[in-house]
Every structure is written in structure tokens, then in C-alpha cells.
Chains A and B, each alone.
Chain A
Amino acid sequence: MPLYLDDQQTMLRDTARDFIAEHAPPAHLRALRDANDPTGFSRDLWKQFAEMGFTGILIPEAQSGMGLGHVEAGVVLEEIGRNLSPSPFLTTAVAAVEALRGTAHADRHYPGILAGDTIAALAIDERAKFGDGIALAAERSGNGFRLSGTKQFVTHAHVADLILVAARTSGSETDQDGVTLFAIDAKTAALDIRPERLADSSLASRITFANIELHADAVVGDVDNGREVLNRLLAAGRTGASGELLGVGGGAMDLTVAYLKERKQFGQTIGSFQALQHRAAHLYAEMEVARAAVLKAQQLLDAASPHAGQAVAVAKAMTGLATTLSVQEGIQMHGGIGMTDEYDIGFYMKRARVLAEMFGDANYHADALARESGY
């Protein structure tokens, strides 16, 4: 498969680009932020996503979805990133759909996701930096399990219908085995969910599980073998986050390049200064390399290639590095105006930071790559 978008994928991109730019441009995020909106995104927009078919992009056709792949999901995510559109798309339509694929939970939750009703959240982080350790305990209790422990950085948890929780059913915190994934109905479980506003004005929660009783059918996949499902969820989440980062970095670069062409100092447009041209050109190179890495990861994931894992690590690390550069250079090249709340470039910087941290930062993934390469 050639490493560029085919005609159908290009058509989808054009559709997504027009739709998202029209309905959820950066001004949309700004309005939600200014209103201190307690949801953090627009439910109407989520419904519209469903009407466009976007929420079913990864759901098999046999289950009424579009039956497409990670390349297509990435196309939508890139536009979400470019427009800074707040949306539960990544957690719900990408990560959760992948985690539930082929399980009984799919039949239960896919219809709600397809309809734009269901919001899913991922309770997988337990500390400030993403790591592989899982301590939250799920003890067998009667016909089910009892969960106790804490999770953090759970985006959309406060409005979620479905929460996917990674818990320990045996062994100790650092073990790979002994992990189980649970699908929790957030509306009925008595979870202590504390949403906090993040730097990018999205909302993520700290969740305390205090002896939460779950029925055995909450298990997704196999008991003690949850890494398999969790890894599928993470591969999709990381690839998706990389696609969104690409949009954030690309959007910031576009703003910056446009500004270089318009702002005048010393009687000339600042974009004619070679010092800035070289930095802009270097940034372009970093973003293009990141773009190729993301498409490679998406394609390998869709092909179920054994090399997908490493490609995903490269994509997440590379987009973290390139997009961080893009937003930093963006503010610097905007000069003082880049520091004002009134200009959008700062919004890009905040969003990039959140996405770069999500599912493991560039160092985490470089480390993973090194481990897999035997050094």
C-alpha cells in the first residue's frame, strides 16, 4: 500500500475538513472556554458527528458502522486537532470501539456510540506520568469483583456513560500478567468522580473506586489477560492521539506561516528574513516526517502487522516532538501577540501539551522502542 492517502481517504478528509472547520473551529473551543462550559464539549456536535457517520468509522459494517480503519479515523482526528475541536471522539469512537471489538460489550455499546449518545472514558492512568504499572485492585467477590483504588487523567469521565477501567486481578503492580479490563456503566456505579479543568480547558477527572461492586459480565476479554485488550486500546489511542497531534502541530504551523507573510517590521514582511525562513522550513520538515510516521503506524495497524507496535511508538514520540516544536516556534515567531489570550496560537500550545502527555510521552515511547530493539 503506498504511503499516501488514496482517493477515497482524500474525499473523506475533504468532507471532515469542511465539516469540522465550519462547525467546530477554534472559536468554538474559545466560546466553550469563556462560558466555563461544564461538559467540556458540545453534545450537539457529537450528535452531528454521528449523523456524518464519523462515530461509526471503526465499527464493523455488520454492526452498522462504516467498517473503516485507523487511516480514516486519523483523517478525522487530524481535522479535530487542526481546529482544536473538543470532542470525545478519540476516547469513544477510537479507543473504546477498539477495546470492545468482538466482545459482548460491543453489541451493548456500539449502537449508542453510533447514535452519538454514548460517551466513553478511559481509566488507565494512576500517576502523573503514564506507566505500565497497574495497582487498582479488583478482588473476586461473589459472582463478580470489587474494585478499589484511584485513577487520574480520565478525560470526559464526569459525563461518561461507559468507563473502561484497567485493574489488577492478581500479582503485583509491576507485573504484566494479572490485569483485567472492565467496562463500567458510569451512571449506575457509585464512583467518586472529580473533574478538574486542564490547561487546555478540557476536563479530566480523578476517580476513586471505594469497594465498587461489579458483576462478572463487566469483564472485557479475559480475566488476568487484560493486557491484550488494553494493548489494543492503547495502540488505537496512541495512533489516534498522534493523528490529532499532527493536526494541532499542522494548524499551529499554518497560523505561523500565514503570520510570517503578513506581519511587517523594518519595512518588510518578517517572512522575508532568512533567520525565520530557515526555522519555518525546519519546522515543515519535522512535521512532514511526523506525518509519514503517523500514516505508517495507521497502515500497519490496519494491516495487523507484527511491526505495528514499534511504528505506533515512533508515531506517538515523533508527533510529540514535532508538534511541541511547532507550538513553541509558533508563539516565538508571532512575537508578543502570540502571548495574548486573544490570539489562537496559545490554544494550540495548551492542547499540544495535553495530547503529548496522553498515553505516554515521547520519552516513554523512545524507551519502549529501545527496549523492543534490545538495548
Chain B
Amino acid sequence: MTDLADFRSETRAWLEAHCPPEMRTPVRSDKDICWGGRNPDFQPGQREWLEAMASRGWTVPDWPTEYGGGGLSPAETKALREEMAALHCRNPLNSFGISMLGPALLKYGTEAQKLDHLPKIARGEIRWCQGYSEPNAGSDLASLAASAEDAGDHYVVNGQKVWTSYADKADWIFCLVRTSKQSKQGGISFVLFDMASDGVSTKPILLISGYSPFCETFMDNVRVPKANRIHDENKGWDVAKYLLGHEREMISGMGLASAGGGNPLIEGAIAAVGLDDRGRLADPLLRASIALFEVRARAFGAMSERFVDELKAGRAHPAQPSMMKYYGTELNKARHELQMAAGGSDALEWESDASNGGAAARAWLRTKANSIEGGTSEIQLNIVAKRILDLPT
């Protein structure tokens, strides 16, 4: 216990010394998020913060040190996160590599694959995207059709993916392809390839938020070495499902108040409607809505903590990420609805400086996808009903 207390105080001191002041302010818009990659787009303070954290393996504190991680125990990882939160430190790196591919590689990758990819993910050198969905394979993902034909030491991949987040900015993709038509789920393989490979092209899709972080991704006779296949041929569905569990876990974190400190919902409401002479929000119905929302949000905060503790101890039900994903995303949508309601006409400004480029409105619109991406709320409820409550089909 004293070891942990020492770790805590040393960590706090180190964070104090190394986290640049710009990285201790709330994340105000998408631009404030650091994604790394071959062509990084750093804002002031981001590079220093990323490099400082990566040098200790703290972008992935609980991964083994040989793969670029920090080798921390679950208790130390928790302490690190708590100390970061206490100092309002931003996340140094956002990455599909960390939250999705990494865990799948740790479980299913060969030693060579792990050594090849994990350290780069940890240092934020390669930005990854996820090639799962296709125009005719959304919720029914296993019906995917993009084909990979056996050509000896490599596959030749043809087909189209859709909704590939940041495909135009990503360096590599983890992709589901069909290696057999004999069986729906049993004919899928999981492969990795460089987005700079011949035959790969992307086309952005504009969203209702005015951003276009998504793409259609086209694959035209792309050569993918077999050495880039994770796990056995036709066993890709196992990897895909495992990865989806982590994706859901990551997305469920959205239900929590934003990292970087403060509570934008409450601060925004106070700024918009003011406090009355008893120190209460001047709009009593808005106040009541926010207070009841905060009850759920804080309870969900406890649930998230419990979920992580159970996961680390191997006690979580394997379908529990579905519950978390469902609850967290619905909560996050509700948070942004309230934030817009509190902000009134100020929050509707789409491009002004005062609105930070319409950050609130754009974020609100973006959250509508939370209950779609990574599997819709309906699909999560199906999973909870069948796998946890054991309801009949």
C-alpha cells in the first residue's frame, strides 16, 4: 500500500513537471485531440506531452514494457488515471491502435506481429483505421463481402468498405475480408495493410456536423502479405468480436464528463441563464433536468469504475461491454441535448469565434452517431437480452 502511495506522489510530481499548461485545459473541439501518425498535426504542447508520456510507456500504461507500454499493475494504472484527472491532464494520444487493435494484437498476434506494431502504436507513430462496415454489412456485419483471394504468400483484396473513420488520415487499416464463402462467420479473416498500398483509395463523406471524418474505402487488387493476417485464416470473426468488445468499452467512456476538468454542462448552463439569489440556476426546470441527469452520469461513473475493476480481475461478463456501450452513449447524447438546451441561441452559432467554430452544435450533432457506431443501441440491447438475461430467440 505504501508502494502505491509512493507511486502516486512520484507520478503526481512527474505530471506536474511534464504536462504542458496547454494540455491541462478542457478539450474544446475536435482540433484539440491528438491522433499522432506519420503526418501528425500537432497543436502547441501536444507533441511534448505525447513524447513525454510515450517515453514512460504511459500512453498505454498497462501494456508490457517490451511492447512500448508502462508495465503498470491495475492499481498503478488506476492511480495514474486518477492523478491525471486530478491535474486535469488531457489524454496524450487518441488512437484506434490503442483502444481497438492493440488489445486484439496482444491476444491474437504472433510475437513478430506484436513487436512490429505495438511499440509504434504506443508512440503514436502509426495512425490506424477500422475497415469493418460495408454498404450491405452494417449491423449484420458478418455478411460482409470484400474478398481476399489466395495468391500464395499474399492475398489479393477487392471490395468496398464504408464509414471508415479517418481513412483519409490513417496510415494503416485493420480490415475484415472474406476468405471463404462456405460459412458466413467462419469465412472471414482479419488482415492489416498499409493505406499507401497500390489499389487503396478513399473518398470522404460529409456528416451532419459539418465534419467529414469518414470515408468510403475502395480496394482494387490490393496485395496483402499473408504475414499480415492476424490469427488463422477464416478465424477472423473471433478477432473482430474481441476487438469490438474493446471498441464498445472505449465508446462507453463517452458517458463520463469530459477529461480535462470542469463540467461544461453546468458551467454552460450557469453562463447562459445565470444563478438566482439563492445560488441556483435561474431556470428551475433546466436545473431539475440537469440535476437528474447528473445523478445518472455520476452513477454511470461508478459503473465505469466497477467495470474496469472487474475487467482487470477477469470477473466481468463478456457481454458487459454492450451494456456499458448502450448506457454510456445514450447518456452522452442526453448530455449534449441538455447542453444545447442550456446554451440557447448562443450554442446555435455555427462558425463564430464566440462559439469556437460552432463546437457545441457540432459536438451535439456528432454524438448522435454514438449510439450507431460500434454497433447500434438496438444491437447492444439484443446482446444483453440474449447473452446476459438469457432470453429466448
When chains A and B are docked, how far (Å) is the Cα of A363 from the Cα of B284? 12
What 0/1 pattern do residues 3 to 17 of A give for CB contact below 8 A with B?
A: 110000000000000
Binds A, one of B12-20, B193-201, B238-246, B289-297: B289-297
- The distance from the CB of B380 to the nearest CB of chain A, in whole angstroms, is 8
Interface contact B389-A280, CB-CB below 8 Å: yes
Q: Given A280-B391, A366-B295 in contact, is the A292-B306 Cβ separation under 8 Å?
A: yes
* A contact residues, total (Cβ < 8 Å): 46
What 0/1 pattern do residues 255 to 284 of A give for CB contact below 8 A with B?
A: 001001100000011011010111011101
Binds B, one of A76-84, A110-118, A223-231, A313-321: A313-321
Interface contact B326-A257, CB-CB below 8 Å: no
Interface contact A278-B299, CB-CB below 8 Å: no
The A-contacting residues of B in range 235-277, CB under 8 angstroms, are 263, 266, 269-270, 275
In the complex, chain B residues whose CB is within 8 Å of the CB of A217: none
Of B291, B309, B385, which is within 8 A of A369 by CB? B291
Task: Label chain A's interface by main secondary structure.
Answer: helix
Interface contact B393-A295, CB-CB below 8 Å: no
Interface contact A321-B309, CB-CB below 8 Å: no
Interface contact B295-A362, CB-CB below 8 Å: yes
Of A272, A277, A282, A314, which is within 8 A of B295 by CB? A314
* B contact residues, total (Cβ < 8 Å): 45
Interface contact A272-B393, CB-CB below 8 Å: yes
In the complex, chain A residues whose CB is within 8 Å of the CB of B326: 281-282, 285
What 0/1 pattern do residues 280 to 309 of A give for CB contact below 8 A with B?
A: 111011001111110110000000000000
In the complex, chain A residues whose CB is within 8 Å of the CB of B391: 257, 260-261, 271-272, 276-277, 280
Which residue of A is nearest B317, CB measured? A288
Q: Given A284-B388, A292-B306 in contact, is the A369-B295 Cβ separation under 8 Å?
A: yes
Interface contact B294-A2, CB-CB below 8 Å: no
Which residue of A is nearest B380, CB measured? A281
What 0/1 pattern do residues 130 to 170 of B give for CB contact below 8 A with A?
A: 00000000000000000000000000000000000000000
Q: Given A274-B382, A289-B299 in contact, is the A373-B306 Cβ separation under 8 Å?
A: no
Interface contact A284-B384, CB-CB below 8 Å: yes
The B-contacting residues of A in range 241-267, CB under 8 angstroms, are 257, 260-261
- The answer to the question of A108 belonging to the interface, with a C-beta cut-off of 8 Å to chain B, is no
Interface contact B295-A321, CB-CB below 8 Å: yes
In the complex, chain B residues whose CB is within 8 Å of the CB of A278: 378, 381-382, 385
- The answer to the question of B86 belonging to the interface, with a C-beta cut-off of 8 Å to chain A, is no
When chains A and B are docked, how far (Å) is the Cα of A29 from the Cα of B148? 65
When chains A and B are docked, how far (Å) is the Cα of A272 from the Cα of B107? 34
- The answer to the question of A367 belonging to the interface, with a C-beta cut-off of 8 Å to chain B, is yes
In the complex, chain A residues whose CB is within 8 Å of the CB of B270: 375
- The answer to the question of B214 belonging to the interface, with a C-beta cut-off of 8 Å to chain A, is no
When chains A and B are docked, how far (Å) is the Cα of A315 from the Cα of B301? 12
Interface contact B386-A277, CB-CB below 8 Å: yes
Interface contact B392-A375, CB-CB below 8 Å: no
The B-contacting residues of A in range 1-59, CB under 8 angstroms, are 2-4
- The answer to the question of A374 belonging to the interface, with a C-beta cut-off of 8 Å to chain B, is yes
The B-contacting residues of A in range 64-116, CB under 8 angstroms, are none
When chains A and B are docked, how far (Å) is the Cα of A4 from the Cα of B307? 9
- The answer to the question of B300 belonging to the interface, with a C-beta cut-off of 8 Å to chain A, is yes
The A-contacting residues of B in range 351-393, CB under 8 angstroms, are 378, 380-382, 384-386, 388-393
Not counting A3-B306, A296-B305, A318-B295, a sample of 16 additional A-B residue pairs whose C-beta atoms are within 8 angstroms of each other reads: A2-B309, A3-B305, A4-B313, A261-B392, A277-B385, A281-B381, A281-B382, A289-B300, A292-B299, A292-B303, A296-B306, A310-B298, A315-B299, A363-B292, A366-B295, A375-B270
Q: Could you give 29 example pairs across A and B, Cβ below 8 Å?
A: A2-B310, A3-B302, A257-B391, A268-B392, A269-B392, A271-B392, A272-B391, A272-B393, A277-B391, A278-B385, A280-B385, A281-B381, A285-B323, A285-B384, A288-B323, A289-B302, A289-B303, A292-B306, A292-B307, A310-B298, A311-B298, A311-B302, A314-B302, A315-B299, A318-B296, A363-B288, A366-B294, A370-B294, A375-B269
| Interface set of A (CB-CB < 8 Å, partner B) | 2-4, 257, 260-261, 268-269, 271-272, 274, 276-278, 280-282, 284-285, 288-293, 295-296, 310-311, 313-315, 317-318, 321, 362-363, 365-367, 369-371, 373-375
